[in-house]
Amino acid sequence: MPTFQIETTDSQCTVTWRQFSSYAHVIVIFVALSIVTAFFLHSAFVQPVFVIGLAGLVFGGVGFLALAGIIDALFGKTKIILDKEGLEMTYTCLWIKRGLRRNLTEIRRLEPLPIIGHKNGATYKLRAAYKLRAVCQKNNNANFALPLLTKESKKELNALCDHLNIFLGTLKAAKSGVPAQWELPEAMTFDFDSPPQHLDPPPKSQWLYQTDYFDGVVFKKRNFLDFFGTTTWTFAHGEAEYRTVRFGWGRTTNHSLTGWNSLLVCLPDGEQVKPELIAEGNPDAIRDFYNGCALWRVVFLTAGADRLLAIEGLSKPEALWMADVLIRERRAVQ
């Protein structure tokens, strides 16, 4: 498993690693192949038989490939340098050297990418081989192959990408003169004294609002991609009913709202700004993402700030609109 060595200063992040432990099994295979090859070649000289000689050459070729892997394990080194000028990735092994470079303004983010194999016209993911991809503007992406052999290696690569993306965002912010503030949008509270804003339903929302025959408040959602499914929230007389219907089969859950006196519009607990958003280097990118994502919720709170119920999976405009309607119609909801 590769071990990444990370050195970070205010202006540069350097990552180096070797693959020695990943090739320990190659050494064993090479020794075994060497023994088998020597046996076949010795047999071919003692008793010249074409098949024996051919087998010796085949095993010798495989052994040569294993030797190449051992040389890579012993002398191969990969280095990544990320600074205010951009990203440079290089691989060196004895006299072999290859690398690539991208300017800072070109890079959008870094991410792990499985290596795709091809066989008989079909594609498949190699079990334990990945590329470190720098996603760039105008599809000018930079891929750098990283052979990984364990699940722990994949986790380590994910952590490395997160570290590099956060550093990338800091560099971009410094270069553009924008303060490096990576904060989530703040939660908003609606209480009984909050003046109704009379917000209109968001234009692209799939939720519809109506009042039922019992003076309750109803929000109904139907996807055009799912003609046989609906989701309905009904609020009336201190109770909430959640109902889903899929292909004619329905499921209903009831919740008590006794004692609620405020609503909280917020993101899920524990939500953190994603490193790939930080990599953009612009707080507006974070704001735009969270304005449109379906992570928001409307939470019913008691006077003691206890949570009674949460309507989840909403965009921010949907959550604000629903909260405004519920406060406006609170007498019906209570």
Amino acid 321: pLDDT: 94
How far CA 325 is from CA of 66, 137, 195, 217, in Å, comes to 69, 42, 11, 9
Average pLDDT over all residues of the chain: 78
Residue pair 66/24 in contact (Cβ under 8 Å)? The answer is no
Residue 130 inside a domain? The answer is yes
Residue 154 lies in a domain: yes
Do residues 161 and 218 share a domain?
no
Distance CA 144, CA 140 (A): 13
Q: Are 91 and 142 in contact (CB under 8 A)?
A: no
Please say which residue of 152, 179, 206 terminates a domain: 179
The pLDDT of residue 324 is 92
Beta strand extents in the chain (DSSP E only): 5-8, 12-17, 77-83, 86-93, 96-103, 107-119, 122-136, 142-147, 188-191, 207-211, 217-222, 229-236, 239-246, 249-256, 260-266, 296-302, 307-314
Q: Does residue 75 form part of some domain? A: no
Quickly state the pLDDT bin for 27 (edges 50, 70, 90). Answer: low
Q: Is 197 in the same domain as 303?
A: yes
Q: Which of 56-60, 115-119, 178-182 has the highest mean pLDDT?
A: 178-182
In a domain, 43, yes or no: no
Residues 207 and 233 in one domain: yes
Q: For residues 160 and 148, is the Cβ–Cβ distance under 8 A?
A: no
What is the number of domains present in the chain? 2
Asked, for residue 298, whether it belongs to a domain, the answer is yes
Which among 133, 149, 179 is the end of a domain? 179
Same domain, yes or no, for 238 and 319? yes
- 175 and 224 share a domain? no
> Domain check: are 269 and 206 in the same one?
yes
**The domain containing residue 155 runs over which residues?**
85-179
My answer on whether 231 and 321 are in the same domain is yes
Give the full edge-to-edge strand order of the sheet including 307-314.
188-191, 260-266, 296-302, 307-314
Does 132 share its domain with 201? no
Residue 129 lies in a domain: yes
First to last CA, the chain: 59
Do 227 and 314 lie in one domain? The reply is yes
Is residue 312 situated within a structural domain? yes
CB atoms within 10 A of CB 318: 23
SS3 content of the chain, % helix, strand, coil (to 5): 35, 40, 25
- 195 & 296 share domain: yes
- The residue among 124, 157, 179 that closes a domain is 179
In this structure, what token pair is assigned to residue 231?
């989701």
pLDDT band at 71 (very low <50, low <70, confident <90, very high): low
Residue 285 falls within a domain, yes or no? yes
Q: pLDDT digits over 98-152, tens only? A: 778 888 888 888 888 776 665 666 555 655 667 788 888 877 787 776 655 566 6
Is 195 found in the same domain as 133?
no
Residue type for position 299:
V
**Is there a single domain that holds both residue 303 and residue 325?**
yes
